[in-house]
Structure 1
Amino acid sequence: MEARWLTVGPVQENTWIARLEGAEKAILIDPGDEPDTLTTALDDLGATVEAILITHCHFDHVGAVAEMARRTGAPVYCPEGEVFILEDINAHMRFPGFGPFESYSPEKTVKDGDKLQLAGFEIDVIGTPGHSRDHVTYSIPAEKAMFSGDVLFENSIGRTDLPGADHQTLLDSIAKLLDTLPDDTGVLPGHMGPTTLGAERASNPFLRELAHR
């Protein structure tokens, strides 16, 4: 798999472009901002977006969804419990000085347990709420990789002081990932750089209570 991330917007969110090596079709994950930057990257790669996948609907992850859907013609896959946020994004803005953003009605919804076949990938949708009410992680077992949004970072975890967030729920979601995926699974996050599940199990200070799982 070729996976490229572009850090965009005022809060430095990672938008991911992923495709099988040398393939034309790709998936675009969490287009948060700077649609011109994203379009240029796609053009440079010669990639055609087959689907836009959303891990959760905080503004920094969906700010460019409407524009990228328009530019690529690709369907948008949104966690079903957060569609109402995407469809009225500015009503859910909690931070002054950002936006306004364009709302969007997704073509598809996803939930825990769904399996997607897109751009040659077989993708497992894993429900990982806690940072947001219906956050999902997109796991690609054959590539030992997952797009984790804001669940897990290198030596950190997603914040839980936002509406719909809950610290224990987030820890339970991370425990589910640790229990079901191998330690060498690459964590391709929504902020900061990539890591692995095993590295976070061993050294992430927020996961000490999960260390013996």
Structure 2
Amino acid sequence: MDVRCFTVGPVAENCYLVRAENRPGAPALLVDPGDEAERLLDAIERLEARVEAILITHCHFDHIGAVAPVARATGAPVWVPAAERHVLADINSYVPWPGFGPFESWEAEHTVAGGEKLELAGFEIDVLFTPGHSPGHVSYSLPDRGALFSGDVLFRGSVGRTDLPGADWDTLLASIRKLLETLPGETTVYPGHMGVTTLERERHTNPFLAEIAS
């Protein structure tokens, strides 16, 4: 599996271009295109990737700011958490701080809520409902590839913040517990911010997980 990470925007969000094969014309997933649409499109063109689907973990502005221009340019349909579809459709009304944007809104073609099994770009994808950082947050597991795109639920040495509207600490911990209990420890975690890690590493070293990791 070929995974390219592009850290974009003023809050350093990770967007991932994911292909089953590193070859020209290979179908690709694009996960959370948050900003810098021209940079992402240049990379897609340079790699000769064919974006088949755009997957959104949650609809905070730093994860969806480039959805509209990238979707339009690539023709790829967008998959978004059902509970947050309205945010993508009216982004600027949900930016909590001044100085960010403006962003272009987009009407997503598909919604997910957790429990779905998708077959896209040569991957089998399990959609996991992982709220807590946001009400509709989902994570995308590629079980046969040992990969998890965790959005802002779990980071290397940290977890998603819970001081935003719709966030809840106990709910976030329950989501992380579910990931730790249902996925193999060696699963590679591709988070929405900071560096790549594994579930096993976070179980043993993440200070925020002390109460659930034992």
Equivalent position to 1:34, from 33, 36, 53:
36
Describe how 1:42-191 pairs up with structure 2 within 5 A.
42-191=44-193
- Secondary structure, counterpart of 1:95 in structure 2: coil
Match of 1:12 in 2: 12
Partner amino acid, structure 2, of 1:47:
A
- Give the superposition deviation at 1:22: 2.9
CA distance in 1, matches of 2:64, 2:82: 15
CA distance in 2, matches of 1:84, 1:147: 22
Question: Alignment RMSD, CA only?
Answer: 0.7
CA distance in 1, matches of 2:179, 2:43: 30
CA distance in 2, matches of 1:21, 1:172: 34
CA distance in 1, matches of 2:12, 2:167: 21
TM-score, normalization by structure 1: 0.98
Give the share of equivalent positions with the same residue, in percent. 62
CA distance in 1, matches of 2:205, 2:154: 13
Match of 1:205 in 2: 207
- Give the superposition deviation at 1:130: 0.3
Runs of 4+ in 1 over 3 A off after TM superposition: none
CA distance in 2, matches of 1:6, 1:211: 30
TM-score, normalization by structure 2: 0.98
- Give the superposition deviation at 1:104: 0.8
- Give the superposition deviation at 1:97: 0.5
CA distance in 1, matches of 2:66, 2:169: 28
CA distance in 2, matches of 1:40, 1:99: 21
- Give the superposition deviation at 1:204: 0.2
CA distance in 2, matches of 1:125, 1:38: 24
CA distance in 2, matches of 1:5, 1:158: 19
